[in-house]
Amino acid sequence: MRRDVFQAIADPTRRAIMALIAMQAMTPNAIAEHFDTTRQAVSKHLRILTECELITQEQQGREIYYQLEIEKMKEIDKWLEQFRAIWEKRFSQLDQLIATIKKQKKA
């Protein structure tokens, strides 16, 4: 089953996992230590993030390490960029409106 990236990052636990492994790869047990949930629940979150290609796993000896997939994050950022442009335009318009109102109050 192909999962949607945005459904994956909508979950706060999955976002926390991504933030946790953003700086360094970690094993599932090391990740689970940071959460007040079962190891199985963390494994489910890791599986969903892996299916969405937001994280990758690498076998090192007997351990599996999970790391953030930066290129996939760039895809999300690129999609969000279109909305940033809209927000910036609206904030600029709001700034102009506020400046106009302040000038009118002074006059």
Same domain, 78 and 57: no
d(CA 102, CA 73): 41
Same domain, 60 and 78: no
Q: What is the pLDDT of residues 70-105, one digit of tens each?
A: 888 888 888 889 899 899 999 999 999 999 999 888
d(CA 20, CA 107): 54
Same domain, 75 and 25: no
Q: What is the pLDDT of residues 26-77, one digit of tens each?
A: 999 999 999 999 999 999 999 999 999 999 999 999 999 999 998 888 888 8
Give pLDDT, residue 4.
Answer: 82
Contacts of 64 (CB under 8 A, 6+ apart): 27, 28, 57, 58
**E runs forming strands in the chain:** 55-60, 63-68
What's the pTM value of the predicted model, to 2 decimals? 0.75
Give pLDDT, residue 107.
Answer: 72
Domain count, the chain: 2
Domain that holds residue 81: 70-107
CATH, residue 64: 1.10.10.10
Give pLDDT, residue 1.
Answer: 55
